[in-house]
C-alpha cells in the first residue's frame, strides 16, 4: 500500500510514499528495496535540492492529512557497499544509489554519516523528537543499520 503522487516536471514523474503506523508492518532496507522493485519502481534517489524539497512537501502534506502520522523514518535508496566497517574519512564517499544513478546530492544530518555498521540511509521523520545539534530530526539523512524497521 502507499500513496502515489505524480508530477510532470521531474525526471521521475511519480513517487509513492509508504508509511506504516503499525510497527509490525515496517521493513528493513532490503525488504523495502524489493517491494519497490516488485511495484515497478526503486527506492528514492534524490538528485537535487529541488527534489529534496518536493519530497519534504509531500511528507508535510501527508502529515497534515489527519492520517495520524507520527514518528517514523523513511528508507531512501542510498547505501554503502563494502565489507564491514569503513573508516570515517573514506566512508561518505562510499555511499551509492541503489538504482545506479550517480547524483552527488547529499542532505546528511549534522555528524552523519556515522558509518561503522550503519550502511543504509533513512530520511528522518521524527516530528515529536527534541531537536539535536542539527535542528529537528526532519528530512535530513541518517545512516542506519540495514535491518532496522522503517
Q: In sequence order, what are the residues at sequence separation of 6 or more whose Cβ sits closer than 8 angstroms to the Cβ of residue 19?
A: 2, 3, 62, 67, 69, 72, 74
CA 114 – CA 98 distance, rounded (Å): 19
pLDDT at 40: 86
User: Residue 112: what pLDDT?
Assistant: 93
Rg, C-alpha atoms of the chain: 15
Buried b or exposed e, range 5-23, using 16+ CB within 10 angstroms: beeeeeeeeebbbbbeeee
How far apart CA 18 and CA 20 sit, in angstroms, is 7
Q: Cell for 143? A: 545512516
Residue closest to 11 by CA, chosen among 101, 83, 86, 117: 101
Q: Walk along the chain (150 residues) and give the pLDDT tens digit of each residue.
A: 566 777 656 566 688 888 777 888 899 999 999 999 998 889 999 999 999 999 998 888 776 665 566 788 999 999 997 655 555 667 888 999 999 999 999 999 999 998 888 999 999 999 889 999 999 999 999 999 999 999
Residues with Cβ within 8 Å of 132's Cβ and at least 6 positions away in sequence, in order, are 109, 110
Amino acid at each position: 500500500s502507499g500513496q502515489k503522487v505524480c508530477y510532470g516536471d521531474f525526471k521521475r514523474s511519480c513517487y509513492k510514499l509508504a508509511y506504516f503506523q503499525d510497527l509490525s508492518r515496517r521493513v528493513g532496507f532490503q525488504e523495502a528495496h524489493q517491494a519497490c522493485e516488485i511495484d515497478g519502481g526503486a527506492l528514492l534517489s534524490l538528485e537535487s535540492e529541488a527534489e529534496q524539497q518536493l519530497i519534504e512537501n509531500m511528507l508535510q502534506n501527508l502529515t497534515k492529512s489527519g492520517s495520524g502520522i507520527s514518528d517514523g523514518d523513511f528508507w531512501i535508496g542510498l547505501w554503502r557497499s563494502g565489507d564491514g566497517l569503513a573508516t570515517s574519512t573514506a566512508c561518505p564517499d562510499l555511499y551509492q544509489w541503489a538504482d545506479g544513478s550517480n547524483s552527488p546530492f547529499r542532505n546528511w544530518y549534522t555528524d552523519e554519516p556515522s558509518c561503522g555498521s550503519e550502511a543504509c540511509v533513512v530520511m528522518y521523520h521524527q516530528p515529536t523528537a527534541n531537536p539535536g545539534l542539527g535542528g529537528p530530526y526532519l528530512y535530513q539523512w541518517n545512516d542506519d543499520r540495514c535491518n532496522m524497521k522503517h
